[in-house]
Structure 1
């Protein structure tokens, strides 16, 4: 069934009556030893401001808010794809930077199509196939001479309204994309994903392509978990029989409601899944981490990688939707920061890193 509330409105209404969550760990704590397996993934130092927010330009695709960062390196510069919200729905834009802090908007790269029943209101590129090793430069990978992005689209106007589908698009220049048909639909999946699909993250592993994605159950007060589908040709996809591979924790875990928005990397023989959790106790969203020895089995780390900020900060509501890149010895962790009460909340993109800011 289709939910009657958007994800954003449902969570805002729930958080008003929520209590305080006591977390088992804190990524901002110091004093971890060199043998600590989580150490390479920590980015405790927040910039403390948005690096990209709603443009506030009337009629622009990102007038109201920006969301869902995806960062990579290309031709000697850094690029960030993001989705912009204009009051009707999502479209995808791109920004460029030389230092990962100061960004210049470059406009829309994936626009909605009013003539297409799938993307007439929304189309959000969530990832482009890139190097998977966390300490690699973050360059994109071509398949048959083309870049490949994974997108999702919601069927109704508004902020993430209705059961979304997932598809792929292809480009030779990162500006003009040839969008293919949906490859995953909610109605073809199991009960855990029957309510709709969310952010896809595409990985190449050997001769296989792995498409990680989160999805929701069909009830009004839904849960979100993460699964994966596998392909050898980017056309025929098979859902992993062990889905969901990342499940909700038991209350009061910080992912007891949502275990969402996977970003999957490798590092020194291990697999790492950055994701965000939503607590069913305080209804705050935080970035979390799970580690594994293969791309299908992950064990959650018992600490928060990015926590929400103090009242009045840019991320006092949510600090979620990760994207990471390594540069000059530092790991940078981009995320969607949300502050203030709904419906007047401010949604934009911020960053933290593994070394203090000067």
Structure 2
């Protein structure tokens, strides 16, 4: 398998973009989402859809939940991982939730949470300094017993760090995902090679028997950048599910070429050898559209014969935008949605 077959690429296509955010920052001072929302992770729990997401308030990331009954209209429910009061902790600046352990890898099943030792388990990353992704991030594990999913507890120490990794990850880690395969847990994560721009971000893999002790599959990345492509600078933010019909693992990640971040599609038979599509799966939009600058950081699910592809959309800020990332020269960053089948009407009910 030296490339993604055309018929496979089309089976995962989500070309119909909704032209309004499904979730956006509040712009309210001191709120978790004062400047932006980012990094959706969508799942089904207790008869509702949930979107774990992060907000940026100018100091760091904080993790929150939103709920929906239709995947279109979302209501913010509250913060689940906040800034810590203990300045001696490694994660006191903030916590960015990436993934919660799921019952199944199946792309065509609704993603439902799995309990292990009567707990739900979330992996998150945290940066050591205040500011926008300042310093090298490490990964931690949090757990929750309550089905409301609003009260999470963090393990005291990181479970995965960059210090003992390869040269390609020596400047810090980013978001990741979990899958279960061959009787083990697999973590896919991206990391950067140096702290000063231009750095490179690539995706690596590690395995574990208990979610706490991890061993890298290789000293090298399993998904690498390639010159003269839309992923020449980054291959980042893996979101991996299994397509039983195609008999392939599918990664809805993103690539970056130094100008635009765009959705990336990669497939694998064995989780270690990956083949990346030559064209973006979610391309950036035209001038003035939500994703004019970036279309990246995916969360994908299948419901009622339609793929819903949530992603982070970015464009230059406008005068009416409620939340703006000042450190990115006036960027509007929100969570957007693309689908495999058009949604004819968008209800005005509910909170966006």
TM-score between the two structures when normalised by the length of structure 1: 0.88
Alignment counterpart, residue 53 of structure 2, candidates 73, 77, 82: 82
- Displacement of 1:244: 0.3
- Displacement of 1:189: 0.5
Query: 1:330–1:353: 8 Å Cα contact kept in structure 2?
Result: yes
Matching of residue 261 in structure 1 with residue 237 in structure 2: yes
Query: 1:43–1:332: 8 Å Cα contact kept in structure 2?
Result: yes
Q: Could you say what secondary structure the match of 2:136 adopts?
A: coil
- 2:256 is aligned to 278
Q: Could you say what secondary structure the match of 1:287 adopts?
A: strand
Matching of residue 128 in structure 1 with residue 104 in structure 2: no
- Displacement of 1:333: 0.6
Matching of residue 198 in structure 1 with residue 198 in structure 2: no
- Displacement of 1:58: 2.2
- For 2:306 and 2:99, the matched residues in 1 are separated by 22
Alignment counterpart, residue 200 of structure 2, candidates 217, 223, 226: 223
Q: Could you say what secondary structure the match of 1:39 adopts?
A: helix
- For 1:295 and 1:145, the matched residues in 2 are separated by 28
Query: 1:117–1:155: 8 Å Cα contact kept in structure 2?
Result: no
Query: 1:216–1:223: 8 Å Cα contact kept in structure 2?
Result: yes
Matching of residue 154 in structure 1 with residue 154 in structure 2: no
Matching of residue 323 in structure 1 with residue 278 in structure 2: no
Deviations 1:43-78 (A, max 9, x none): 000011111111122221111100000000001110
Query: 2:253–2:264: 8 Å Cα contact kept in structure 1?
Result: yes
Matches within 5 A, 1:268-347: 268=244, 269-280=247-258, 283-340=259-316, 342-347=328-333
Query: 1:228–1:243: 8 Å Cα contact kept in structure 2?
Result: no
Runs of 4+ displaced beyond 4 Å = none
- 1:209 is aligned to 185
- Displacement of 1:153: 0.2
TM-score between the two structures when normalised by the length of structure 2: 0.89
RMSD, aligned CA: 1.7
- Displacement of 1:245: 0.3
- Displacement of 1:348: 0.7
- For 2:91 and 2:158, the matched residues in 1 are separated by 10
Matching of residue 233 in structure 1 with residue 206 in structure 2: no
Give unpaired runs (5+ residues) of structure 1.
1-32
- For 2:134 and 2:306, the matched residues in 1 are separated by 37
Deviations 1:303-339 (A, max 9, x none): 2111111111111010000111110011111000111
Query: 2:230–2:279: 8 Å Cα contact kept in structure 1?
Result: no
- For 1:205 and 1:48, the matched residues in 2 are separated by 37
Q: How many residues align?
A: 324
- Displacement of 1:219: 4.9
Query: 2:97–2:124: 8 Å Cα contact kept in structure 1?
Result: yes
- 2:22 is aligned to 51
